[in-house]
């Protein structure tokens, strides 16, 4: 029986420094070499997933919470789920009412990612921008007034701030047709991310799409945070790392070692022995 193993990154596969440990890389690379089907599902895009350069991933992976599926073997995106333009304009209206515009992700026909923003409102947003501005996979443009034209393909809105400031926006977005949002704590600070995307996209949908593409018999998923919940609920086996949020551990079939102690890699190693 073929099993697809799919892991979240931050707080799950990565350590507290947002890095893949040498031991985890060695274990997983060895298992991949011996035929294990392993990939990742993340809120990150390819521009910040280069932290996995030491990992020999060959299968498609889920990015931007399921909006994009990227195939490492081809070096290209193979699937994209944009937001309907009417819904994207509604999201922009809501953000403006809350005096927020966030980072707005758009793609071209070949899935080149272009991010627009009006201004950087806080230090986390500046850090977010600085860490990604020189990426080969993503371009940034600061403009006076973001608009969504008929020929635009909007895929994502993201912002980082305090829970209190983002919760009212999240609540209103959740009542908006054709989009969904996820509000979750940043693994490396006390701040929160609010991410908005098509209601047809999710980590779960991306995971099941990859399972279908590979013809795998079952899927085992690893996670730690609220944006992993739908993926875990739709996996055949749901696994939480030991330092996951309590809600995630409650939804899991198995709780393993901590993320910063190579929990995922150690589980996979024992599973394949």
Q: Answer yes or no: is pLDDT of 45 > 70.
A: yes
92, 116: one domain: yes
69, 104: one domain: no
46, 117: one domain: no
Would you place residue 1 in the very low, low, confident or very high pLDDT band (cuts 50, 70, 90)? confident
Q: What is the pLDDT of residues 210-255, one digit of tens each?
A: 999 999 999 999 999 999 999 999 999 999 999 999 999 999 999 9
Q: For the beta carbon of residue 186, count every other beta carbon within 10 angstroms.
A: 14
188, 116: one domain: yes
Output the pTM of the full model. 0.89
Closest among 74, 64, 94 to 174, alpha carbons compared: 94
- 195, 157 Cβ separation under 8 angstroms: yes
Would you place residue 92 in the very low, low, confident or very high pLDDT band (cuts 50, 70, 90)? very high
194, 95: one domain: yes
Per-residue pLDDT, 122:
83
Which CATH number is 233's domain given? 3.40.50.1000
66, 127: one domain: no
- 27, 262 Cβ separation under 8 angstroms: yes
Of residues 138 and 147, more confidence is placed in 147
Query: Where among 172, 198, 224 does a domain terminate?
Result: 198
Question: Which H or E element spans position 82?
Answer: none
The CA distances from residue 141 to 104, 105, 119, 152, 191, in Å, are 10, 10, 10, 15, 24
Average pLDDT, the chain: 93
102, 234: one domain: no
Per-residue pLDDT, 134:
80
Domain that holds residue 89: 85-198
Residue indicated by tokens 């507290």: 16
Query: Where among 161, 177, 198 does a domain terminate?
Result: 198
60, 107: one domain: no
Rounded to 5 degrees, what angle do the CA atoms 192, 195, 237 make?
90
Q: Compute the average pLDDT of residues 149-161.
A: 94
- 27, 34 Cβ separation under 8 angstroms: no
Residue indicated by tokens 């440990």: 21
Q: Answer yes or no: is pLDDT of 37 > 60.
A: yes
Question: Which H or E element spans position 250?
Answer: helix 246-251
89, 194: one domain: yes
Which CATH number is 191's domain given? 3.30.1240.10
Q: What is the pLDDT of residues 103-130, one digit of tens each?
A: 999 998 777 889 999 999 888 888 888 8
């Amino acid at each position: 029986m073929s099993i697809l193993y799919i892991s979240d990154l931050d707080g799950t596969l990565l350590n507290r420094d947002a890095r893949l440990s040498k031991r985890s890389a060695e274990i997983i690379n060895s298992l991949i070499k011996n035929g294990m089907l392993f990939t990742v599902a993340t809120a990150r895009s390819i521009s910040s997933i280069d932290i996995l350069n030491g990992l020999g991933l060959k299968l498609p992976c889920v990015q931007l919470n399921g909006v994009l599926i990227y195939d490492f073997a081809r070096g290209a995106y193979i699937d994209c789920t944009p937001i309907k333009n009417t819904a994207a304009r509604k999201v922009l209206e809501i953000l403006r009412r809350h005096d927020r515009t966030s980072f707005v992700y758009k793609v071209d026909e070949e899935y080149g990612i272009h991010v627009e923003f009006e201004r950087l409102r806080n230090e986390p947003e500046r850090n977010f921008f600085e860490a990604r501005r020189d990426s080969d996979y993503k371009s940034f443009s600061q403009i006076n007034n973001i608009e969504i034209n008929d020929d635009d393909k909007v895929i994502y809105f993201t912002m980082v701030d305090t829970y209190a400031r983002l919760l009212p926006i999240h609540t209103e977005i959740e009542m908006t047709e054709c989009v969904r949002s996820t509000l979750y704590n940043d693994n490396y600070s006390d701040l929160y991310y609010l991410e908005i995307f098509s209601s047809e996209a999710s980590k779960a949908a991306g995971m099941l799409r990859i399972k279908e593409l590979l013809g795998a018999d079952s899927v085992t998923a690893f996670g730690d945070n609220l944006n992993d919940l739908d993926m875990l609920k739709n996996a055949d086996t749901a696994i939480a790392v030991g330092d996951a949020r309590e809600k995630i551990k409650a939804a899991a079939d198995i709780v393993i070692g901590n993320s910063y102690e190579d929990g995922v890699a150690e589980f996979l190693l024992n599973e394949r022995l």
